[in-house]
Structures are given as C-alpha cells and as structure tokens.
Structure 1
Amino acid sequence: MVSWSDLAGQAPKIAEEGRKLLYQYGVPLAYLATRRKDGGLRIHPVCPIQDEGELWLLVGNHSPKRWDLLRDGQFALHAFPVAGGDDEFMLAGTATHIPDHETETRVRAALVATGATSGDDTCFRLSIERALLSLYQPKPGGGGIWPPDYYRWPARK
C-alpha cells in the first residue's frame, strides 16, 4: 500500500491524469465502494481530497460508509464520468481512520477551498493498493475510440 505521493513517484501519468479526473468539476468527485458487514457492497458519492501527498476522505459520522470503513477499511474509488468522454480512473486499497484533529481540520480546509462543504465527519487516509487509468482517443461527435490506452499500477507482468 502506498500514499498518493508514492503513486505519483512510481506512476506519474496515472497520478496526474487521475487527479485531473477527480477534480474535473472543481470539487473532487468520485464513487466509493465499500463492503457491508454482511458482505454485500455499497456505493456512495464522495469528495476525495488530495493534500500533502495523501488522499483523504471526510465521511459523515452517521453514514453507513463510515461504519464499513471503520470495520474493514477496504475500498474502491472511481472518478465521476467525464462529460463528453469516456476516460476512467479507479483506485483500490485500505482506508485508515485518522483521529488527529489538526489533520482533520487541514483536510476540511482543503475540501472547503474547492467549494464543497463539510461538517460532522470522520477523517480517513486512503492507502493505495492498485490503480487503473483508461484514456480514450477522442471520437468525432463525442465519446472515445475503443480500446482505450490502459495504465495500471502496479504494472502487470
């Protein structure tokens, strides 16, 4: 598992293009998949924050995703779709609760600076196990030409 800055050092194209996709609307937007206690899956819209070399989430204290992350930490994150395109960015790994008030305050300030709001939240650091970036060549009239160029980390052998 690595931090965002480690990913950027080892796979700069994935981190750079992935950040563009997460922040394409100004406010960073993605879908977060978590595992329920009974093994079922959930998916939730979230605002992942890249700050000081890490990727963070502030999760509402009464949200089911908070309990999922506190229980086992496993997650998958997928950037919101691109308007008029098909590019994709996905991460998977483990979320760790960070109960440090100063860190939470800094992450909240970084989120609010994008135009989002935050309130009664729990702070999680996202450690990255794998990443996938899919970039499509533009197609006249919109969308992308199949197959895309795939960039994986760690790279497949």
Structure 2
Amino acid sequence: MATWAEFAAEQPDLAAFTQGRFAADRHALVATLRKDGSPRISGVEPDFTRGELWMGMMLDSLKSRDLRRDPRFSLHCNTTTASMTAAGDAKISGTAEFWTEKDDYLKDLYDRTGWMPEGGELDLYRCDVTEVVSITVEGDEMVVLSWHEGRGIRRVAKK
C-alpha cells in the first residue's frame, strides 16, 4: 500500500489532478462492503492533508462499520455534469485504517477550515491507495490514466 504522499511523489501530475477534482466539490461517494459482501455507496468528504488521504464520518455509521470490518474502499469525485469535457473524473481505491489518535488531525482541520465536529466526535480513517484513475476528454478521445501500485501508470485513449 502507498500513502498519498508516496503516490504523489511518483505521479505528481495525476495526484494534483485527482486532488483538484475532489476539491472542486468536497462531497464525494465512497463504496464500502457490507457484512454480506454487497456494496454500499455513501457520501463522504475526503481530506488531503499532511501527505495523507483522510475520511472522517459520523461515529459508528454504517460505512464506518463496513470499513472496520473490511478496510477496502473506492472513492469517486462528485460528477456534476453529464459531460466530462470540462472537468474530468477521478477515482481512488485502497484500504482505510481506523485512526484513534485524532487530536493532531482535528487541530489541523480546525486550523485549515475553522470547523470542528461537535465535541471532536467522528470516526477517522487514514487511507492508503492501491489505484488512482483519471478520465478526461482530449479532442475526440476519452483518455483514461490509471495507476496501480507496483505497476505504475497506464494510458488508454478511446474514441
């Protein structure tokens, strides 16, 4: 597994694009696995800070329970238009580690945003990445850049 900083050092352009897509609308979708193995899609606000990818969520939410049981996730930026020609698309997959030492993160969050969850209460996950994908339109082609840990980057263009 790669930390976000490790991925970004290897693929700075793809990392910057991906962070930009997630920053364009803080709300994103995360896919987790239910106890029976079926997928669950939930809203989340991913946070890229201090070289890490973080996900905070309500205490003991269903998605949090899913991640504690099976840490695998996929994260998708909010796509707000039918056409990707303007902004593109970004996806991240990996594993999420339940983080109990929240004080430093919460202080940093407050310093950056002026916001703190009521009473500092949230379930916090630090995420390692195994796959990052961007989809953009270049001319008359859809361009898919996909990075997988240990394999590097692959570019596929489709008309």
- 1:4-153 equivalences under 5 Å are 4-25=4-25, 28-83=26-81, 85-86=83-84, 87-106=88-107, 108-109=109-110, 113=113, 118-119=117-118, 120-137=121-138, 145=140, 147-153=141-147
Kept in 1, the 8 Å contact 2:28–2:45? The answer is yes
| CA drift at 1:127 | 0.4
- Aligned residue for 1:100, secondary structure, equals coil
TM-score by length of 1: 0.83
Structure 1 residues not aligned, in runs of 5+: 139-144
The count of residues paired between Structure 1 and Structure 2 equals: 146
Kept in 2, the 8 Å contact 1:104–1:123? The answer is no
Evaluate the alpha carbon distance shift between residue 82 and residue 18 of structure 1 in structure 2; reply closer, same or farther with a 3 A threshold.
farther
Evaluate the alpha carbon distance shift between residue 70 and residue 55 of structure 1 in structure 2; reply closer, same or farther with a 3 A threshold.
same
The CA distance in 2 between the partners of 1:92 and 1:131, in whole Å, is 6
| CA drift at 1:83 | 4.3
The CA distance in 2 between the partners of 1:64 and 1:125, in whole Å, is 17
The CA distance in 2 between the partners of 1:106 and 1:97, in whole Å, is 18
The CA distance in 1 between the partners of 2:60 and 2:134, in whole Å, is 32
Q: Percent identity?
A: 25
The CA distance in 2 between the partners of 1:116 and 1:76, in whole Å, is 26
Larger mean Cα displacement after TM superposition, 75-84 or 123-132: 75-84
Letter in 2 for 1:149: V
Structure 2 residues not aligned, in runs of 5+: none
The CA distance in 2 between the partners of 1:64 and 1:8, in whole Å, is 30
The CA distance in 2 between the partners of 1:133 and 1:19, in whole Å, is 11
| CA drift at 1:6 | 1.1
Query: What's the Cα RMSD here?
Result: 2.3
Evaluate the alpha carbon distance shift between residue 107 and residue 121 of structure 1 in structure 2; reply closer, same or farther with a 3 A threshold.
farther
Kept in 2, the 8 Å contact 1:21–1:82? The answer is no
| CA drift at 1:116 | 6.7
Kept in 1, the 8 Å contact 2:30–2:75? The answer is yes
The CA distance in 2 between the partners of 1:10 and 1:42, in whole Å, is 31
The one-character-per-residue Cα deviations of 1:54-91 (angstroms, maximum 9, x if unpaired) are 00011111310010011111100000014474111001
TM-score by length of 2: 0.82
